[in-house]
Structure 1
Amino acid sequence: MFRFEHPIFLYLLVLIPVLAFIHLLLTNRRKKALEEFGNMELLEDLMPNVSFKRPGIKFYFLLLALIVLIFAIAGPQFGSKLQTVKRKGIELMIALDVSNSMMAEDIQPNRLDRSKRAISRLVDKLQNDRVGFIVFAGDSYVQLPITTDYASAKMFLNTITTDAVSKQGTAIGSAINKGIQSFTSDENVNRAIIVITDGENHEDDPVAAAAAAAEKGIKVYTVGMGLPKGAPIPSNNGRSNDFMKDKDGNVVITKLDEATLQQVAITGNGAYIPANNIRNGINNLMDELGGLEKTEFEAKVYADYEDQFQWFVGFVLLLVIGEFLILERKNRKLKHINIFEVKKENKEN
């Protein structure tokens, strides 16, 4: 497992394009100044030992050395082995609606993107808890099995789109049932399911699914994405101001069904969080989840991280030595050697 011990130093990489731009600007100025002074071909004859390419090569050697040095400062490390550790936490399954209605823009930038941002903030607040993702529309699938690897969780989160589930619709009950089945077999672990959707359920009975979860001691929370007044659903053809229409040619308006989501949360012994108060709602949700009794369980993590910066520092030294050995002026003894001219003469013969 690879990681950086001090990843904050990687922000220094923003200096690289700035330095490259400044060098390019100064090089162009120098070239224009020489062109104003006289014809470049004549100037090359008058200055036979001057190289116009070598300063650039030397600069990029140093630039590459700087890039590698920044990586070295960030502290690259490799985890040498997996180790089983004891942790105390809860298990949490997050079910995200990826139906087409989640592309409505009644909350900006759209319901799905706002949902993913909320999940990202929630994952950032987790400590020693297990988390997994379920995506659902007309069907539901496990996108990420339950894990303590939060970095992987956020990576999987970024890949979620409305194409994740081919069958359209909104089957909230199916998502809750899938969540119930997706927890580990560990006993006496507090569990919760968070359903993030616009609530327009068309496929099954989400209240009955929430009741089944509550019977197993699993709390069900709902997060309503959208506004009650609703919004049209953007078409998939990529055209602006083009929306989905029903069979009669009328623009389809998708509305937040708060009543259903509130009933699901009540039945599931959880709470309902409206999208217009998502930030405070997520904080309150984490407070409530934090109040659940933590259970000890085993987790596999990489341990015995070993520093690898010395390899980067060695490469930096090689680059600096290479830059030092490259002279800005041409070598008088070697400047007349031109492999391409020799080949050209042989070809003519």
Structure 2
Amino acid sequence: MTPLPIALLLGAVAVGLRLLASRRSGADREKLAEASLLERYVRLPAHALPPIRLALLGAGVVAIALASGSGGTEARRLDEGGAETILVLDASNSMLAGDVEPSRLEVQRRLAARLATRTQGRMGVVYFAGRAYVLSPLTTDMSAIEMLAEGVRPAAVGLGGSSLASGLTQAIDLLAGGEEGARKSIVVFSDGEETAGAPLGEAIGRARDAGIVIHSVGIGTELGGQIPLTREASLDPTMAARRRGGASVLQGPDGSPVITRLNAAQMRQMSLGTGGLYVDGSGGTDAIERELAQGGREPLTSTDDVAVAALLLLAFVSLWGEGFLLPRG
């Protein structure tokens, strides 16, 4: 909104101009006839009316100035300096583990979809397992982002393994093509296991050099759990050799069940290296949501909209009363 001192200044200018006009009218009346004669034949306004008229004029101008200083919601959200965020979602088979209820995958879907609905600016989505794919470039269509967050699954990638570096690289590439001046962030949802791909340190260094902040959400427990071979599991042909005898869980080369564990230390190191936050997914993502909210201009709230409507109504009533309701001489 327009600052109050500026609005008051505009109101004072309007009142001053009206006072000059009133003085000129008074001078014209004095030239026309003596005051006693005018009072007999001309209906002059009551002495209290001119100050009331000036007050209404000033109030109307101030209200218009304050209301006109408010921008629209979309203009606030998309202007330079806004936020750009990439969700990097883990689609590896380890996310099928049930060491958190109902599964790591379901917790990831819920948290990522919630973050999408509570974050302003532009957002994109990357899935990763043994390799990474861009599912959505930067967009303001949060309903599409929410749908992609809820639809992540290992079968969508198709290559076994887990390469956090690949996911980060794709996210960094997306942000590099974004809007200059925007605050750029990556939010990684994962159990932190790294079994394939390039070293993670190279991607972290690249993000740091580009001024990109990496936040991370750890999903799983350090105790870990087995990986069930459900219909959502990766269709990667290399996994067939590890489904020994129709086993219901993923097995290692020695035939024993594979245990997947949360690597919180790696997730925390990834975030701290770029000035970001690490949170445990069991506690939600409120801290990251607050951090992302500081990245762009906040859109107008419903309270702002009501205030603008009230100011415009005040302006209309004041100016209409000053111009038409009060009697004139």
**TM norm structure 2:** 0.60
The structure with the larger Rg is 2
1:107 CA drift (Å): 0.6
Q: Percent identical across equivalent pairs? A: 30
CA distance in 2, matches of 1:253, 1:227: 11
Aligned pair partner of 1:266 in 250, 266, 272? 272
Deviations 1:217-242 (A, max 9, x none): 10011111100000000023799992
After TM superposition, give the deviation of residue 293 of structure 1 in Å.
Answer: 4.7
Deviation at 1:144, TM superposition (A): 1.3
Letter in 2 for 1:259: A
Indicate how the Cα distance of structure 1 residues 180 and 230 shifts in structure 2: closer, same or farther if over 3 A, else same. same
Residues 280-336 of structure 1: CA distance to partner in whole angstroms, max 9, x if unpaired?
xx111111112235499xxxxxxxxxxxxxxxxxxxxxxxxxxxxxxxxxxxxxxxx
Alignment of 1:103-252 (within 5 A): 103-127=96-120, 129-183=121-175, 184-203=177-196, 204-236=198-230, 242-252=248-258
Shift of residue 93, structure 1, vs aligned partner: 0.1
* Offset of residue 205 of structure 1: 1.8
How far off its partner does 1:118 sit? 0.2
Q: 1:237 to 1:112 in 2, by over 3 A?
A: closer
**4+ residue runs of structure 1 moved beyond 6 angstroms?**
237-241
SS in 1 for 2:250: coil
Query: Secondary structure, in 3 states, of the residue corresponding to 1:213?
Result: helix
Rate the CA distance shift 1:113–1:186 in 2: closer, same or farther, 3 A. Answer: same
- For these two proteins, the number of residue pairs brought into alignment is 209
Judging by fraction of residues, say which structure has more helix. Answer: 2
Given that 1:189 and 1:295 are in contact with CA atoms closer than 8 Å, whether structure 2 keeps it comes out as: no
Post-superposition offset of 1:121: 1.1
What CA distance in whole angstroms lies between the structure 1 residues aligned with 2:231 and 2:117? 35
1:58-87 deviation line (CA, Å, top 9, x unaligned): xxxxxxxxxxxxxxxxxxxxxxxxxx9562
> Runs of 5+ in structure 1 lacking a partner?
1-83, 297-349
Paired residue secondary structure (2:173): helix
Deviation at 1:259, TM superposition (A): 1.1
Pick the structure with more strand per residue. Answer: 1
SS at match of 1:113: helix
Per-residue deviation at 1:262?
Answer: 1.0
Query: How far, CA to CA, are the matches of 2:189 and 2:94 in structure 1?
Result: 13
- In structure 2, stretches of 5+ residues that fail to align are 1-73, 233-242, 300-329
Output aligned runs, 1:34-73, within 5 Å: none
**TM superposition score normalised by structure 1:** 0.56
Are positions 1:285 and 2:278 aligned together? no
Q: Is the 8 A contact 2:84 2:185 kept in 1?
A: yes
